[in-house]
């Protein structure tokens, strides 16, 4: 039998984390093989399943197309309840993307995390993107796909982008790129730390997000934000999410990131990120990136 042409559609079905994920690929140029792309999708799916304890939806589809741009760009978009599946992710690759680029990529994991949260009203888009931005590197670390130092290096570099600028009116009323993605991620970081402080490190944001998935608050549904936050808080036995939201939704809350990094034992050294084993919140920091079975 003749091998399929490179520009012909290729399909493979993965079964990971209790889900069936249909992968449809169409590439026509460059060095990538279909097998490279399937492995890339598999890694991202496994990372999300580790973080949530299962893949968020039971049926998903990932479509991967190659565009005509002769670059190394990787872009994605995710929707809920499309074409008979609960979650649909479409990835677009530049023709110069290589297998090595896919092995280092974070974009597809970010997109698949979106399947774990209900579609929210436009003014709450910051939480959708904030969770995906925050969870992506942690999920990859928990799945042994990313060194822990790189998780914190990305946060140290990115979190300042989420700080309010002059004229900011809070997360619900300020829809810049920085506040939407990194402001939302900073909300998640602060919530994670506060939940762990309140519960003696027995619970964290991960427990709240897993509970939302367990209650079927996934991308194929449309929940009000209040239901999302209440569901998460009930799972941790706290009111951290609701309390933070009330403070951050319409006010430019500034976080003392330097102090937070010091408490967590994350510092920038001459050779990159250094992790302090004697920091006050070292157990919190370690729990945040450890696989669930290691806690």
Confidence (pLDDT) at 270: 85
Confidence (pLDDT) at 7: 63
DSSP per-residue letters across 152-179: HHHHHHHGGGGSPPTT---TTT---HII
What CATH number was assigned to the domain covering residues 10-116?
3.30.2010
The rounded distance, in Å, linking the Cα atoms of 79 and 89 is 7
Confidence (pLDDT) at 291: 85
Confidence (pLDDT) at 31: 86
CB-count burial class (<10 Å; 0-12, 13-18, 19+) for 199:
middle
Segments of the chain with pLDDT less than 50: 1-4, 294-295
pTM of the predicted model as reported, rounded to 2 decimal places: 0.95
CB-count burial class (<10 Å; 0-12, 13-18, 19+) for 154:
middle
Confidence (pLDDT) at 2: 47
Tell me the pairing of strands 272-275 and 85-93.
Answer: unpaired
Strands of the 85-93 sheet, one edge to the other: 10-16, 19-26, 59-66, 85-93, 74-82
In the chain, where the domains are located: 10-116, 122-294
| Neighbouring-strand partners of residue 65 | 26, 92
Are 295 and 287 in contact by the 8 Å Cβ rule? The answer is yes
Confidence (pLDDT) at 6: 55
Work out the end-to-end distance of the chain between its first and last CA atoms, rounded to an integer number of angstroms.
51
Question: Which tokens is 200 given?
Answer: 């003696």
């Amino acid at each position: 039998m003749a091998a399929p042409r490179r520009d012909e559609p290729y399909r493979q079905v993965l079964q990971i984390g209790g889900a069936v994920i249909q992968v449809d690929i169409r590439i026509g140029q460059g060095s990538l093989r279909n097998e490279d792309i399937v492995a890339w999708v598999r890694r991202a799916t496994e990372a999300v399943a580790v973080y949530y304890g299962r893949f968020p939806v039971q049926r998903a589809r990932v479509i991967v197309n190659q565009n005509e741009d002769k670059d190394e760009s990787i872009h994605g978009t995710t929707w809920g309840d499309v074409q008979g599946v609960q979650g649909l992710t479409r990835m677009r690759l530049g023709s110069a993307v290589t297998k090595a680029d896919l092995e280092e990529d974070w974009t597809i994991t970010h997109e698949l995390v979106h399947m774990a949260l209900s579609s929210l009203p436009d003014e709450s888009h910051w939480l959708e993107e904030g969770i995906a931005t925050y969870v992506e590197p942690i999920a990859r670390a928990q799945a042994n796909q990313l060194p822990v130092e790189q998780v914190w290096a990305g946060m140290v570099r990115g979190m300042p982008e989420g700080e309010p600028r002059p004229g900011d009116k809070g997360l619900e009323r300020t829809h810049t790129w920085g506040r939407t993605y990194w402001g939302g991620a900073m909300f998640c970081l602060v919530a994670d730390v506060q939940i762990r402080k309140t519960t003696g490190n027995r619970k964290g944001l991960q427990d709240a997000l897993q509970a939302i998935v367990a209650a079927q608050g996934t991308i194929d549904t449309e929940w009000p934000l209040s239901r999302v936050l209440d569901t998460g808080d009930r799972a941790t036995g706290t009111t951290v999410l609701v309390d933070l939201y009330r403070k951050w939704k319409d006010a430019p809350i500034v976080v003392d990131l330097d102090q937070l990094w010091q408490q967590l034992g994350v510092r920038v050294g001459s050779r990159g990120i250094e992790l302090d084993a004697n920091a006050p919140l070292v157990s919190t920091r370690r729990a945040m990136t450890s696989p669930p079975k290691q806690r």
